[in-house]
A and B are shown apart, each in its own frame.
Chain A
Amino acid sequence: MMSETCGLEDTVALALASGQWNGQLREHVAACAHCAELELVWQSLTQAAQKESTPLPVAGLIWWRSQLDERREKAERAVASIAIMQKLTIASALAAATASLWLWKPGVWLVLVGLGMVLATGAVLYGWVRGRI
């Protein structure tokens, strides 16, 4: 049975990659099943890699797509900022309305209504924060 490793495996791999062999290493490969296997696999794969000649996708097209993606992302970020501002405005308006009502007619029922509005404001803000995360 063939051994799992050979001490000269890395040296043989280097010789295969560089094409620089010495007689001793050649003799070793001829005698070592492990290294002969390495050589066979290496040569077969290199041969398969060299057969590849299909035209490649055009680099300019990929570049253009990346630019387009970048612009789209910028636009999306801008839209997101507008949405955040809208939510902030709504939250501020709600808070201001609550405060105004409170100051205008203080009373128990108003306090409850105010509390409800504050909670609603909190919920809006919470939703916004969760959305951001």
Chain B
Amino acid sequence: MAPLSIASVVPLVAKQSAARMDEETFRRFYEITARPLRGYLIRMLHNGAAADDLLQESYLRLLKAKLPEAATEQHLKNYLFRIATNLLKDHKALRPETALDEDIETADPAAADGDVARMLARLKPAQRELLWLAYVERFSHVEIARMLGLKPQSIRPLLSRARHAFTAALQRGGFGEKK
């Protein structure tokens, strides 16, 4: 079987709106995007079950959405992350972060070992989102601005502040050395 890449799904997806995406196309798109999306959600929520719920809801909304006929793979991925970011906002509004440490230790084994994920969890939610979208998902500043409802010009300074905060947390945790 040919290796999967997001580009291999493009022609199929581009010809039809996501609302009419067939099952096979959906499965391939899911295979490519679900892991990164779950990574994003779990780092934002520190809760595996909640991340899975939001992941499923994100895809359900994508399948229901009326997207342009010529939607590219990047468009679909952006849209998926935008849906997920909005769902995260709703989720946080209903359940503000309180017992963060308990959540990390009980629900997300990957984050329970006092490593980088723990440092990341110490940041403000908006800073975590920014860092993850910019450096793990590598979305452009314009795309991030659209997802977070911010002005594109504000992303660079916000990202810079988030980076300082994360670096400080990492250095306190013994990662990296201050120049």
Contacts and interface: CB of A to CB of B under 8 A. Distances in A.
Contacts of B55: 56-57
A24 interface: no
Chain B contact surface mostly? helix
Interface residues of B, number: 42
B56 interface: yes
18 contacts: A2-B164, A4-B160, A38-B163, A41-B166, A41-B170, A44-B175, A45-B116, A45-B120, A48-B120, A48-B136, A49-B36, A54-B110, A56-B34, A56-B35, A56-B55, A59-B26, A59-B34, A61-B56
Interface string A1-33: 010110000000000010000000000000001
Contacts of B35: 52, 56
Interface stretch (B38-46, B71-79, B83-91): B38-46
B117 A46 contact: no
Contact of A52 (B38, B60, B116): B38
Nearest to A31: B179
A41 B171 CA distance: 11
Contacts of B34: 56-57, 59
Interface of A: 2, 4-5, 17, 33, 36-38, 40-42, 44-49, 51-54, 56-57, 59-63, 65-66, 69-70
Counting from the closest, the 6 A-B pairs by CB-CB distance are A59-B30, A66-B63, A40-B176, A33-B179, A48-B116, A52-B39
B173 to A, nearest CB: 10
A44 B48 CA distance: 21
Do most interface residues of chain A lie in helix, strand or loop, or is the interface mixed? Answer: helix
Contacts of A2: 164
